[in-house]
Structure 1
């Protein structure tokens, strides 16, 4: 089934190994073949990955986009174990991500990681300033 994507002006899109940036006006694209697609709103850039949950998102993006996700999935496991050790309350979120990843659905794992990022933000908001 084709995927219809509407891009805002200057919005980025990753289709397979290609990064695309829209021009100054809205545009509509139809992806007719089965390719991996990430919209700019779904992308966490490495430079912006300033928390453990965001670094997990970067690893999951790699696992989704590359042909051989072994290294990215290994990085996810390392990061996830560290996050759960530091904050055991994150375990259900990490388990949901792992469940989707082990089922062979890295895109849904990446989507589930958004819940982890939101939870982490709530945890960090409760922390007293140092």
Structure 2
């Protein structure tokens, strides 16, 4: 079964490591065989790797796109995942980490990335909650 990708003008995607940019008009591509494909919105740049969950996402993305560097990227994924798991106690976060790990072990990297997006949301909520200033009642000990 073919994969149909609709591209907006100027939108980029990566297919098996090749960066492709659409021209001035909408376009459709049919991918007829298995390929590693990421749309521009799913690609994380190195300077965006600023949190623990983003480090996990980036390692998975690199495993997906860079087969030659797989061992190095897998080692990074394993390290970052174990660090993340050690730092959280939430069953929701742990469940997401287990699902991601399962997808990686099955070499289903695209699904691992999509599950890791949920881990990014989980982390963002936790970081936002931690950044909330204490209320006056909390500060006064009431």
Question: Where does 1:9-48 land on structure 2 (aligned, <5 Å)?
Answer: 9-48=9-48
**Structure 1, residues 6-39: CA drift from partner, whole Å, max 9, x if none?**
0112111000020011122211111122211111
Find the aligned partners of 1:49 and 1:108 in 2 and give their Cα distance.
20
Counterpart contact for 1:46–1:55, Cα < 8 Å: no
Match of 1:74 in 2: 75
CA deviation map 1:45-88 (0-9, x unaligned)? 11112211112111001111122422211101101111122223
Output the TM-score relative to the length of structure 1.
Answer: 0.91
Q: Which structure has the greater CA radius of gyration? A: 2
Please give the secondary structure, in 2, of the residue aligned with 1:88. coil
How far does residue 97 in structure 1 lie from its aligned partner after superposition?
A: 0.2
Q: CA RMSD in A?
A: 1.5
| Mapped partners of 1:70, 1:110: distance in 2 | 18
Mapping 1:95-114, distance limit 5 Å: 95-114=98-117
Q: Which runs of 5+ in 1 are unaligned?
A: none
Give the total of aligned pairs: 130
Counterpart of 2:95? 92
**Unaligned stretches of 5+ residues in structure 2:** 134-142
TM-score, scaled relative to structure 2: 0.84
Moved over 6 A (4+): none
Separation of aligned partners in 2, 1:22 and 1:116:
30
